[in-house]
Structure formats: C-alpha cells, structure tokens
Amino acid sequence: MDEEALSLMKTIVPALTSKKHKGQDGRIGILGGCQEYTGAPYFAAIAALKVGADLSHVFCTRDAATVIKSYSPELIVHPVLDGPNAVEEMDKWLPRLHSLVVGPGLGRDEALLKTAKEVIEKSKARDIPIVIDADGLWLVAQQPSVIQGYQKAILTPNFMEFTRLYEALHHEPMDSSDPRRSVMQLSAALGNLTVVLKGEQDLITDGRKVLSCNLRGSGRRCGGQGDLLSGSLGVLAHWAFTSTAHSKSVSPSMLAAFGACSLTKQCNSQAFQQHGRSTTTSDMIQEIGSAFKKLFES
C-alpha cells in the first residue's frame, strides 16, 4: 500500500457541511448503455453516487434508458445516444457536469462510437476530467488522437483492452513479462495521460512514475467490477482536480486512480467475506460506504 498516496487521498475528500448546495460534491456523467449492455452504465453511475457524488447522469440509447431507470430511481437517464441530435443533446448537459466517464456498456456500433468521439472533443474543450473505459478504449485503439495528450484523461483498461491499445500505438506485440514498462510506454505514447492497467495489482502511471495498488481483493472475478472502478473514478477525479491540497509527487489523475483502485479492491474483499463465490458487483456496491470509510476516513 502506498502510504503517501493514501494519506493524500484523505485530503481530497470534501467535508460534509451544511453550507453546500446539491451538486457541489459532483455531477457526474456516464456515456454508455445500449441494447446489449445496461448493467455496466448502471454500476458506474450508482458507484459514483455511493462514493459521494450528488448527481449521476447516464447518457444511453433509447431502448437502454427505460431499463436503466428501472434499476434505480436515483439516476438521471437521458435516452439520447442514438437520437438524431445526440451530440447537441449531450452538449446541453456538458456545462453542468464535473466529469465524464466514457464507455461502460457503450458497445461498438460505429454511429455510437462517432457520437462518443464528438462528445469527447467537446468535453476536452471544456477542460473536464474524462475517464475512458471499456468500449471507449476500443474507440481510442482505433483513433488514439481523440484523447492523446489530454492531461485530464484517465484510461482504465483490463488486460485485453490494454493489449489492444498497446499494439495499436506501438505496432508490435506487447512484452507481457514487464507490465510496468509496457504501461509506462503506453502512457508516454499517448502523451503522458494517466493509464491504469487493472489486474492482480493495478498499475497506475503517467509515463514517469508508477503507483501500484496491491490491496488484496479476492479470487472472485464477476463482471462489472471495472464499471464500479470507472464510476468511482469519475467522482474522485473531480475531487482531486478541485482540491486545494497539492502534491508535487502525485498528480490529481494518479491520485484519483489510486483511490478508485483501492476502493474497488476493498469492496471486493469485503463483499467476498460475506458472499464468497456468489459475490456479484451489486454486493460490492453495497460495500462502498464502509470500504470508503475504512480506507479514506479513518
């Protein structure tokens, strides 16, 4: 456990006071959710709320919207992604968002990926933190320039997604015997934005320094844990970038990524202690409150 990163994380958690209005602790957007995948954007959006965001918006296709709404009354769901004016519709909301998570359950439909690309461009122009996960990483592997060099971008690939990105950027197979080196190389090739390679140990880098999150999770690898991570990261990135506490050694993106990785593994560990082999991501979501308190508020 990186003690310095952990104690820095504690300093970016906003105080709960009666002086704030709704929205100040985070209005987070999730771009994803299509006919096949409705769980992934739900997990990301509800995780953002459970971590402490005030409002969580999902931007998805029309047929996914009713399904996602029915999982939770707490989410604001916009059925815009496959509509005729998807980018304009999203652009109305961007000024109100503190960060955007692109990709959970987005799918790989060409038209949806084109919309995602244009929304990323508009979000960059607004200088908001952008987390790219899942099918958003598929888009980056096809067109790296969409995110290259944007310092407020954080990419959260699983092993497969990482390999795809690496090969797209380096035009050669990855040397999997040295993941630290590979993850630094990928970050550097993308202009030193933050890359998180998820695995038994999560590796977090900006191409110069590597933080590793080696909390013990469990042996349970159910789907959706990465969505919990990217949704949590949406909020933590907002907190890290707006915090007045500064560190020379750990950038806001690296710090937020370290926080989200630690939190996800802690949730996995706690849920596993209760549910063992039957642990699912919904069980992990129920652990967010106590895992957060244990890691960052004690």
Ligand X SMILES: NC(=O)C1=CN([C@@H]2O[C@H](COP(=O)(O)OP(=O)(O)OC[C@H]3O[C@@H](n4cnc5c(N)ncnc54)[C@H](O)[C@@H]3O)[C@@H](O)[C@H]2O)[C@@H](O)CC1
Ligand Y SMILES: Nc1ncnc2c1ncn2[C@@H]1O[C@H](COP(=O)(O)OP(=O)(O)OP(=O)(O)O)[C@@H](O)[C@H]1O
Amino acid at 45: A
Integer Cα distance of 147 and 117 in angstroms = 9
Query: Which residues have a Cβ under 8 Å from the Cβ of 144 and sit 6 or more positions away?
Result: 165, 168, 169, 189, 190
265 binds, among ligand X, Mg ion, ligand Y, none (CB under 5 to 8 A by kind): ligand Y
Q: Which one of residues 81, 132, 134, 257 is an interface residue with Mg ion (CB under 5 A)?
A: 134
Integer Cα distance of 168 and 162 in angstroms = 10
Which of these segments, 54-62, 94-102, 158-166, 173-181, binds ligand X (CB under 6 A)? 158-166
Which residue's CB is nearer to Mg ion, number 12 or number 256?
Answer: 256
SS3 of residue 30 by DSSP: strand
Q: What is the dihedral of CA 264, 266, 271, 276, to 10 degrees?
A: 100
List, as one string, the DSSP characters of 243-262: -S---SSS-HHHHHHHHHHH
Integer Cα distance of 231 and 221 in angstroms = 18
Query: Which residues have a Cβ under 8 Å from the Cβ of 171 and sit 6 or more positions away?
Result: none
Q: Which one of residues 52, 79, 104, 252 is an interface residue with ligand X (CB under 6 A)?
A: 104
Which of these segments, 2-10, 15-23, 69-77, 258-266, binds ligand Y (CB under 6 A)? 258-266
SS3 of residue 211 by DSSP: strand
SS3 of residue 203 by DSSP: strand
252 binds, among ligand X, ligand Y, Mg ion, none (CB under 5 to 8 A by kind): none
- In the complex, the smallest distance separating the C-beta of residue 61 from ligand X, rounded to whole angstroms, is 12
Which residue's CB is nearer to Mg ion, number 132 or number 250?
Answer: 132
SS3 of residue 204 by DSSP: strand
Q: Is 27 in the site for ligand Y (CB under 6 A)?
A: no
Which of these segments, 120-128, 218-226, 270-278, 287-295, binds ligand Y (CB under 6 A)? 218-226
**Site residues (CB under 6 A) for ligand Y, limited to 79-138:** 134
Integer Cα distance of 57 and 98 in angstroms = 11
Q: Is 26 in the site for ligand X (CB under 6 A)?
A: no
Which residue's CB is nearer to Mg ion, number 134 or number 196?
Answer: 134
Q: Is 280 in the site for ligand X (CB under 6 A)?
A: no
Which residue's CB is nearer to Mg ion, number 196 or number 271?
Answer: 196
Q: Which one of residues 8, 37, 256, 260 is an interface residue with ligand X (CB under 6 A)?
A: 37
Integer Cα distance of 246 and 67 in angstroms = 41
By CB under 5 A, the count of residues binding Mg ion is 2
Binding stretches for ligand X (CB under 6 A): 37-40, 104-106, 134-135, 158-161, 223-224, 226-227
Binding stretches for ligand Y (CB under 6 A): 134, 158, 198-200, 202, 217, 221, 223-227, 229, 261, 264-265
